[in-house]
Amino acid sequence: MSDTIDRQFLLDSRGSSRDLDAYVVGVAFDRTGAAAFALGDGTVHLPPDRGPGDWL
């Protein structure tokens, strides 16, 4: 990848972000690609399986 592409451009064009009210301290993926996010406040966030960019 080119060094001229900045991080914000990549996030804006290909990624998604959500405000989870705590820092993400760990992430795990299963074989199907579903994710689980461990948060710094001791909770685990499991996004619904709806499709890329659709979870809240």
**How far is the C-alpha of 35 from the C-alpha of 48, rounded, in Å?**
9
Q: SS3 of 45, please?
A: strand
- The reported pTM is 0.60
Cross-strand bridge partners of residue 38:
26, 44
Tokens 């991080």 sit on residue? 7
pLDDT 10s per residue in the chain (56 long)? Answer: 555 567 778 777 876 777 888 999 999 998 988 889 999 999 999 887 766 555 54
Are 26 and 44 spatial neighbours (Cβ–Cβ below 8 Å)? no
Structure tokens at 42: 């001791």
CA atoms within 13 A on the CB side of 5: 8
